[in-house]
Amino acid sequence: MQRPRTRRAHGRLGPGELAEAVVLADVSLALIVVGQLVPFGGALIAAAVVPLAVVGSRHRLRAVVTGAIAASAVGFLVVGTAAITSMVACAALGALVGAGDRRGWSARRTTITGLATLWPTASAITLALLLVFHNLRQLTLDQIHNGWFGLFHILRNLGLVRLARPLEQLVQWGIDYWWISIPITLFLLLWFGIWLAHGLSTPALIRVRGAFGDAVVEQDGPAADDDAGAGPGPVPASLHEVRYRYPNATTDALVDISLDVAPAELTAIVGANGSGKSTLARLLAGRRTPSGGELTRPGAVGLGRPGGTAIVSQRPEAQVLGVRVRDDVVWGMPHPERVDVDSYLRRVGLAEFIGRETATLSGGELQRLAIAAALARDPKLLISDESTAMVDAVGRARLVALFRELAHDDGMGVVHITHRAAEAAAADRTITLAGGRVVDAPARLRADDTIRTASAKTASRHPHGRLGRPIISIERVGHVYSRGTPWANRALTEVDLTIHPGEALVVVGHNGSGKSTLAWVLAGLIEPSEGAALLDGRPIADQVGRVGLSFQHARLQVLRPTVVDRIIDGVPDADIHVIARRVK
C-alpha cells in the first residue's frame, strides 16, 4: 500500500468553481458600477475586492481570472473601460489576498509577495504605454498637472503659500521625470491597496470558512498517483498518529489519530462541537493534508470522481447547484444521460421531486438531494458530515438505513458524523472524539425524543381570555413560491394562528411541510400570497426587525468578527450592559 501524494488541482475548471467564480465576480462588478456612478463611490470600489478574494481563497487562480474576464466584458458594456481597469485591479488584489489566506500567509508576507510580483508588472506596463503612446502620456500628465495645481491654487487663496510652494515643486518634478515618479507612485498605491484589501477581506474570509468549510484547493487527481494508470482507491484508509493544525492556529485540531476506514462498513464518528469531527472528515476526503503522522490508502482520494470519494456537508445549499432537482443530481457529470436519476432520488425519498426547482425545497429536502447527487458518482467512500441534521425523524431513519444498505449490500465504506445516539447505534463501529483525540469513553449523546403535538386549536394551555390581546395574528395565510409560473409551489394553505404575550409556541412537521415559510412570514421576511399576517394590528412585512429570527445556519447571521461585536451590533449603548449580563 502506498501513500498518495497531494498536489494542487489541475485541469479545467469544475462546474462548482466556475459558478462560484462568475457569481462572485458579478458581485464585484455591481459594486464597481455603482461606485462609478454615485458620489464618493470609492468605498464601494474598494469593497469590490472582497468577493474576488473569496474566490482566490477557495479556488485556483484561473477561477479568479475567468470570473474577472466574464465580469469585465459585461462591465465594459455598462460603463466602458473604467470597469475593465477597476476589475483588473480588484482581481489582482483579490487573487493575491485569497492565495495568501489559502496558504496561511501573514499580512506582511502577503504584502511583500504582492509588491514583488505586481509592482514590477504594473510599472512596466504603465511605462510602456506612456512611452509608446505620446498622446496618452500628454493627456495623463496634463490631468495630473491640472488636478494638483488646482488644489495648490486653493491653498494659495487660503494664505497657505508656504505649504503650496514646495508641493508645487514636488509635483512639477514628478511630471518632468515621470518615468521615475510613476513607478514610485505605483509602489505606494499598491502597498496601500494590498493593506486595504487584506483588511477588508480577512473578516469575510473567516466567516466564509466557518460557514462553508475549506474549498477543494488541493486534491488527489490523475497526476497525483504514483502509478500513472491508477484510478481512485479511497478505501481502505489507514490513519497512524495523524495530527492536523489549521493555518495560524496555536493548537492542533486533531492529535494522534489512529484508525482504519474499511469498505463494506458503516462507521459513526461522534463527539461534542469542536471535537474535530469535521476536520477528520476533511482529511478522509482529501480536502486537507495531515500536519503530521501518516494517512495511507491504495490509490487516490478521487473526490467527486466515479469510484472515488463523495462527501455530503452540513450545509446542502453549498452543494446544490442545479436549477431543477434532476439537473442537480447529474451536475458536472461527463455523461448525464447515462445516469438513472429516478433510482437515486427514489433511494433518498425524493422520487416525486424530479421536476421541482431546487429553490423551492426545504432544508431537509436539499440535504437528501445532496446525498442523491453524491450517490450518482458511485463512490467507494461516502462521508456524511451531519447530513441528517435538518432531516425530520422519518427521513433520518430512512437515511441511516440507506447508509447501512450502502455499506452492507453495495460494499461501500460509509463514514457518518452525527450527534444522535440512535444513529450511532446503527453503525458497525463508533469512534468518539474529544479535544481532537480518539477516546474510549462513549459520548454523552441524547437519543431522539418523541415529540407529541396537539392541534392548533388545543395546543395552548391557557385560555385566550387570561393571555390578553394577541401580539401576532395569522389569518387564512397561504403562500405560493414562483406564483404565476409553471413551477409554482404551494407552501402554506389557510393557516390560522395567534400568539399571545407570555405564550411559547412550537411548530413541528415533516421536511417540506412549510415550517420555515411560516417562520419567515412571522418575521416579515415574506409577505404571504393570501391572507393577513399582523403584528399589533399592522402587517408584519412593514415592521421587519420587530420579530427576531434565528436561521437554521447560525453562521449566516454572524456578521462581526468577535462574539462581543456580534451581540452588541446595532444595540443602543444603554442596553449593552443588560445584554452582557444575560449572556454571561
Question: In terms of domains, do 515 and 421 share one?
Answer: no
Question: In terms of domains, do 207 and 234 share one?
Answer: no
Which pLDDT score is estimated for 298? 92
**Alpha-helical regions (H) of 177-234:** 178-212
Which pLDDT score is estimated for 415? 94
Which pLDDT score is estimated for 449? 37
Domain closes at, from 158, 178, 212: 212
Question: In terms of domains, do 427 and 508 share one?
Answer: no
Find out whether 407 and 266 touch, Cβ atoms under 8 Å: yes
pLDDT in tens, 374-396: 999 899 999 998 888 777 788 88
Is there a domain that residue 158 lies in?
yes
Question: In terms of domains, do 233 and 95 share one?
Answer: no
Angle at which helix 15-37 crosses helix 61-79, to 10 degrees, equals 40
Mean pLDDT over 289-315 rounds to 89
Q: Which residues contact 524 (CB under 8 A, 6 or more apart)?
A: 533, 535, 539, 540, 541, 542, 543, 544, 545, 546, 547
Q: What is the DSSP letter of 513?
A: S
Which pLDDT score is estimated for 167? 84
* Structural domains counted in the chain: 3
Which pLDDT score is estimated for 162? 82
The Cα 467–Cα 499 span in angstroms is 9
Highest mean pLDDT: which range of 2-6, 40-44, 194-198, 362-366: 194-198
- Check whether 461 has a pLDDT greater than 70: no
Give the range among 29-33, 240-244, 513-517, 551-555 with minimum mean pLDDT.
551-555
Is there a domain that residue 574 lies in?
no
Question: In terms of domains, do 128 and 15 share one?
Answer: yes
Which amino acid is residue 112, in one-letter code?
Answer: I
Highest mean pLDDT: which range of 35-39, 40-44, 113-117, 171-175: 113-117
- The more confident residue out of 346 and 18 is 346
Give the range among 13-22, 186-195, 402-411 with minimum mean pLDDT.
13-22
- Check whether 553 has a pLDDT greater than 90: no
Question: In terms of domains, do 201 and 336 share one?
Answer: no
The Cα 82–Cα 79 span in angstroms is 7
DSSP lists the bridge partners of residue 479 as 492
Mean pLDDT over 149-155 rounds to 80
Mean pLDDT over 342-368 rounds to 86
Any idea what the CATH number is for the domain that residue 99 is in? 1.10.1760
Any idea what the CATH number is for the domain that residue 486 is in? 3.40.50.300
Domain closes at, from 177, 212, 247: 212
For residue 4, count CB atoms less than 10 angstroms from its CB and return exposed for 0-12, middle for 13-18, buried for 19 or more. buried
The Cα 501–Cα 545 span in angstroms is 18
- Check whether 315 has a pLDDT greater than 90: no
Strands of 411-566, DSSP E? 413-417, 429-434, 437-439, 472-481, 489-499, 530-535, 538-539
- DSSP line for 276-297: SHHHHHHHHTTSS--SEEEEE-
Considering the chain, what percentage of its residues have pLDDT values greater than 90? 16
Is there a domain that residue 79 lies in?
yes
3-state secondary structure string, 66-93? HHHHHHHHHHHHHHCHHHHHHHHHHHHH
The Cα 504–Cα 514 span in angstroms is 19
Find out whether 317 and 368 touch, Cβ atoms under 8 Å: no
SS3 label, residue 5:
coil
Question: In terms of domains, do 344 and 270 share one?
Answer: yes
DSSP lists the bridge partners of residue 383 as 311, 415
Rg (CA), the chain: 29
Q: Which residues contact 12 (CB under 8 A, 6 or more apart)?
A: none
**Rounded alpha-carbon distances, angstroms, from residue 164 to 148, 158, 168, 175, 490:** 10, 10, 6, 16, 70
Could you identify the residue written with the cell 455591481?
30
Phi, psi at 237, each rounded to 5°: -110, 135
The Cα 391–Cα 288 span in angstroms is 28
Which pLDDT score is estimated for 290? 92
Is there a domain that residue 444 lies in?
no
Question: In terms of domains, do 320 and 403 share one?
Answer: yes
- The more confident residue out of 138 and 147 is 138
Question: In terms of domains, do 494 and 474 share one?
Answer: yes
Which pLDDT score is estimated for 10? 55
Is there a domain that residue 180 lies in?
yes
Question: In terms of domains, do 148 and 275 share one?
Answer: no
Domain closes at, from 183, 212, 241: 212
Strands 237-244 and 292-296: antiparallel
- Check whether 295 has a pLDDT greater than 60: yes
Mean pLDDT over 28-51 rounds to 81
Question: In terms of domains, do 349 and 400 share one?
Answer: yes
pTM score of the predicted model: 0.52
The Cα 491–Cα 480 span in angstroms is 6
- Check whether 349 has a pLDDT greater than 70: yes
Give the range among 40-49, 367-376, 467-476, 569-578 with minimum mean pLDDT.
569-578
Question: In terms of domains, do 262 and 170 share one?
Answer: no
pLDDT in tens, 263-279: 999 999 998 888 899 89
Count of positions (residues) in the chain: 584
pLDDT in tens, 194-233: 998 888 888 888 877 665 555 444 443 333 443 344 578 8
The Cα 408–Cα 518 span in angstroms is 40
SS3 label, residue 474:
strand
- Check whether 443 has a pLDDT greater than 50: no
Is there a domain that residue 564 lies in?
no
Mean pLDDT over 229-244 rounds to 86
Is there a domain that residue 155 lies in?
yes
pLDDT in tens, 79-88: 777 788 888 8
Mean pLDDT over 63-75 rounds to 88
Which pLDDT score is estimated for 4? 37
Is there a domain that residue 563 lies in?
no
CA atoms within 13 A on the CB side of 306: 8
Structural domain boundaries enclosing 340: 220-439
